[in-house]
């Protein structure tokens, strides 16, 4: 089955990724509040930035799932979901890695992740303006 044209499958995919990222963000935030040893306040602040971005984009993925469920499968919504998912992995993952290893050179993927997050938002804007879905011929 081609999941790209199956709204129910995409709703489960984006909803599942949203739930997974929400779970990780809550767990990481709790660990940061109660168990993370950071060398300085800046490291702790960096970790909290990653948690916040992960949670906000988990909620954005949930919105992608809901929009797919209501309006049907769309290439632009799929690009949005992919941008958010890859952006979370690269941006938040890089920030977590910087703090956990105390090695800022491991955060090189953060800018690419940030660009993917922005690309996700841009594709959502284009989707909202165009109103096109696969069922309408996009």
Percentage of residues in the chain having pLDDT higher than 90: 77
Region 17-29 average pLDDT: 98
pLDDT at 136 over 50: no
pLDDT at 113 over 90: yes
Alpha-carbon distance values, 114 to 13, 63, 83 (Å): 22, 19, 10
pTM: 0.90
- Per-residue pLDDT, 40: 87
- Per-residue pLDDT, 55: 98
Q: Is 108 helix (H, G, I), strand (E, B) or coil?
A: coil
Residues near 114 by beta carbon (within 8 Å), at least 6 away in sequence: 87, 91
Region 34-40 average pLDDT: 83
Residues near 21 by beta carbon (within 8 Å), at least 6 away in sequence: 54, 55, 57, 58, 61, 88
Structure tokens, 3: 């999941």
- Per-residue pLDDT, 133: 53
- Per-residue pLDDT, 38: 75
Structure tokens, 10: 């995409």
Q: Is 33 helix (H, G, I), strand (E, B) or coil?
A: helix
Which pLDDT tens digit goes with each residue over 55-88?
999 999 999 999 999 999 999 999 999 999 999 9
Q: Alpha-carbon distance 53 to 97, whole Å? A: 15
């Amino acid at each position: 089955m081609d999941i790209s044209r199956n709204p129910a499958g995409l709703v489960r995919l984006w909803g599942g990724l949203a739930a997974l990222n929400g779970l990780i963000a809550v767990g990481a935030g709790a660990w940061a509040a109660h168990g993370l040893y950071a060398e300085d306040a800046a490291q702790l602040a960096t970790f909290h930035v990653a948690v916040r971005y992960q949670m906000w984009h988990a909620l954005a993925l949930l919105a992608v799932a809901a929009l797919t469920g209501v309006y049907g499968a769309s290439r632009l919504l799929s690009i949005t979901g992919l941008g958010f998912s890859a952006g979370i992995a690269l941006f938040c993952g890089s920030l977590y890695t910087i703090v956990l290893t105390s090695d800022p050179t491991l955060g090189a993927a953060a800018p690419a992740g940030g660009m993917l997050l922005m690309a996700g938002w841009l594709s959502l804007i284009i989707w909202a303006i165009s109103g096109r879905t696969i069922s309408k011929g996009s």
